[in-house]
Structure 1
Amino acid sequence: MHKIITNSFHNEKVRIILIDDELWFVAMLTVEKEKEKIEIDRDELKKTQSAIREIAITYRESQEDLNRDLHREFDRDLRRWGAKITSDNRIRFQSPRILFEAGSSEISYRFENILSELFPRYIKILTSRKYRNEIDEIRIEGHTSYGWGHSTDEDYIYLKNMQLSQDRASSVLKYCYSLPELTRYKKWLIGKFRANGMSYSTPILKWNGKMDYDKSRRVEFSIKTKATEKVYKIIEELK
């Protein structure tokens, strides 16, 4: 005898036509398995959320520790260098007259001396047992302000500034990498050290929202950790 059952399952109406008791049993097993699968999916989601939360907490604590260590090491020198340490652990050199001549990628003598003071101490912190296994990249970023001579061609202005910012970042990387004190760290640096030209894509703004041309012409040291990579790995495992 045929039985027709309409039921609600997982917010959807399910209509099952039952021919005999055996089919009824199979249908019920299928429904129970679907329920179990949903519960498993919920458990997996909770585990994933917990893992990502743990990574986020560890990342925040590590960032806070690094910020304290950078300030402890460099605070007494920052003003003399025309530099600052940001809350996201960037070391920002924003006194353009100290860094390069206008339109040039040749490092000034004064900036060479600053880099010679800074970089060995910076790398000593990053290669300490506390941080070395969490560092994914050390980036040197070159930044410029908007404009190129009297040109009004947006593409030309952007590309010329991109080239200049990349050349400046590369000059800083080459100088730092060639320091004699860095010899013991070179193998480690090869896998981490990067130079990135940013053109005027991330300017420093004044209180009124307009570009601060002087402060936008800068060099920044920044760090990318493996926290993001760990989150992506968890997401990939779920696919």
Structure 2
Amino acid sequence: MARLENKAALVTGGGAGIGAATALLFCREGAAVMLVDADAAALDRTLAMIRSEVPGARIAAYAADVSDADEAARAVAEAVTAFGSLDVLVNNAAMRNYAALADAQPAEWQAMVAVNLIGTSNYCRAALPALRRSGSGSIVNVSSCYAVTGRKGMGIYDATKAAQLAMTRTLAFEEASHGIRANAVCPGSTLTDFHVARAGHAGKSVEALKGERQSTSLLGRWAAPEEIARPILWFASDEASFITGATLMVDGGLSIM
């Protein structure tokens, strides 16, 4: 039996990168999946990719900005209508910022909090009634290894990702009586299309980009998106049925360097 057979999931930030890899893996493991992303064109590409890779996949998409609470409610309602239930929520959507804290403006903080924290809260709040009805719901929040380690130049992003970990632990406390588990994964540097495109705009090749991460993990390389999707799948599945409130570092050892 597939690991997510007869389960329905909603994945935010599902248009590319870790979200798209997670959705593909979920579909391969038998889940019905609703993708949410602000980029409608990216959603279309991911839908086409998954339908090609997994013929017969139960997959749908909803284009929305995760910071909009009304859209979150509609996206969850669409998933429940399409699939009849909701068992898994993956909060993967995120916004990045590259300002030093000394230079960060209030508007930059507000924009990051709106997506990375309020967006996560919007989907948790909208999904919790359906997850409670499931009886064995799972929330997986995608944070960052830098929420734990710290670094220069991305303090706003890292602060919001650290707050996600606190939110995850609180959800674990508050929702255990409803049969819902809440856990977080903390990816290290992951070679997504976002990073490839950003490097290209800076005139860097993919090989040069890969070389930049040789000293920032014990394994000396970037993660592939599917290497982050696999632990997300594990948390979502019944294999992790006695795990809640946990933070899993998926960072090639960066956090112990």
**Range into which the TM-score falls when normalised by the shorter chain:** 0.3 to 0.5
The structure whose residues are more often helix, as a share, is 1
Compute the TM-score of the two structures, normalised by the length of structure 2: 0.35
Structure with higher Rg: it is: 1
Asked which structure has the greater RCO (Cα within 8 Å, sep 6+), the reply is 1
